[in-house]
A and B are shown apart, each in its own frame.
Chain A
């Protein structure tokens, strides 16, 4: 294995891991696999594109690249606004679709099917608004930096890894050291008991949607920055995200990130040694293998 494969895998894995953290949070607390999470990733990227373009239109100086990166201040500022808008979108979807189903005590399969419907709707809406053609945050060319051992990475790629690491550490600290994090873990374990312990479960659910959407938006911006923005980008990421969330163990934030890196490196190895057309199959193999061998994942609890 060359070092370049490892670097490529880490870059892809950082994006997958960040998305998987969002999946694992919503899965562990809302108790269903939200297949619309991929569309939150796509919407996050498009919203960041729209807002950063708007900012650039108002002030061209904010689009001047921040060396050594390929983008100007308009992108980070646009991303902050997009995080808020993606969270709002997630809350609207929950209020309109998932919330009423939960109140009717709908079966998990109904929630999962509803998430498929939400995904189709959100994706179609994106295509309607932005068309299906690819978009880019920036057209700037970047020169890859030598990392040693023959490996190279662009500053944007290294930034993506750094941002993913920072976000994961932040979410982990939020869950383990803050009162809202403890409440989220309590709700994840037992919603009824959380209620009689004085926790407003509905408020916690809203916070989970906000956090999950924020992570999806950041993952979308990272994917859009390194590859391109397309309405299908979230759908393409969905299988690796679920593979990583389940491999890491549902509910485990560090597990999801580590598993994301494993899936990313696995994809890079697959592309190098098997063929690019088998890249997506790797996630499926990982998913099936972990469900057969260790369904609780690397860091999950056996009784879940």
Chain B
């Protein structure tokens, strides 16, 4: 666990789509302010379900989710956003039928009217690719541009915590590098970041700490650097064939 005061914490969290079939099975985690936590684990470990639960998209069976000093377990997704929790889903994370500008406007609606233009402008400044074509239909964007738009949409509300579910899925290695570089930059600006990833090496390279989820429970945690160099952990939980080999 981080030494910093937790900005996001779960306690004995159990969740899943069906009441009698929990996928997340008692997760205790605490993420300190400004941390960049990478959530790893084999396929089916419950990583996506865990972050969707935190975001309010999967029913909680028991346990709690706390954001800062506020318990947000039972809050619907849209209220969690208002309290500073932003989530970027793995797929279908933009409104394809809306334009780039409309995607940002939709997200900015929860801000006071006088701040909306300023926050949309801030996203255009951070993602110049989007600023170059605000009227373009989002569905026509490339994979990398879609991820940028999804992240920009999430950042509009200046969240205290940004959670991303496999933003590298379906992207070329070069684009993944661009996306991860941008995520590092966002984290350096003070946004606490939680990243679910299958691209283990790339994720550990930018994360400060890693949690490894196995069968719905946190099996290991430690600094990203330590896990990156731990051959046993890599072989058991990250799917590496050998130390230094490609991870699953």
Contact = CB atoms under 8 A, between A and B. Distances in A.
Nearest to A105: B17
Most A CB contacts (10 A, CB to CB) among B93, B98, B105, B106 go to B106
Interface in A189-211: 189-190, 192-201
Interface string B98-137: 1000100111011000000000000000000000000000
A131 B97 CA distance: 46
A279 B138 CA distance: 43
A196 B81 contact: yes
A5 interface: no
B106 A197 contact: yes
Interface residues of A, number: 18
A194 B76 CA distance: 12
Contact of A200 (B55, B78, B92): B78
Contact of A196 (B55, B97, B98): B55
Contacts of A185: 95, 97-98, 102
Contacts of B95: 185-186, 189-190, 193, 197
Given A182-B102, A190-B92, A193-B89, A199 B109 contact: yes
Given A196-B89, A197-B106, A198-B107, A186 B98 contact: yes
Contact of A201 (B78, B92, B97, B110): B78
A183 interface: yes
B96 interface: yes
Given A185-B97, A192-B57, A198 B92 contact: no
A2 interface: no
Contacts, number: 68
B211 interface: no
A301 interface: yes
B82 interface: yes
Interface residues of B, number: 27
A139 interface: no
A193 B57 CA distance: 9
Contacts of B186: none
B155 to A, nearest CB: 12
Contacts of A193: 89, 92-95
B102 A198 contact: no
Contacts of A192: 57, 77, 89
Given A179-B109, A182-B102, A186-B106, A196 B96 contact: no
Contacts of B102: 182, 185
B13 interface: no
Given A182-B105, A183-B109, A190-B92, A197 B81 contact: yes
Contacts of B180: none
A198 B81 contact: yes
A183 B107 CA distance: 9
Contact of B87 (A190, A194, A196): A196
A201 B81 CA distance: 13
Interface string A23-37: 000000000000000
17 contacts: A182-B109, A185-B95, A194-B78, A195-B57, A195-B77, A195-B78, A196-B57, A196-B77, A196-B78, A196-B86, A196-B89, A197-B78, A197-B81, A197-B107, A198-B78, A198-B157, A201-B78
Interface of B: 55-57, 76-78, 81-82, 86-87, 89, 92-98, 102, 105-107, 109-110, 153-154, 157
Interface of A: 179, 182-183, 185-186, 189-190, 192-201, 301
**6 cross-chain pairs, A with B, having the tightest CB-CB distances, nearest first:** A195-B77, A198-B81, A198-B110, A196-B87, A197-B107, A186-B106
Given A192-B89, A193-B94, A301-B97, 9 more contacts: A182-B109, A183-B106, A189-B96, A189-B97, A193-B92, A195-B77, A197-B106, A199-B78, A200-B78
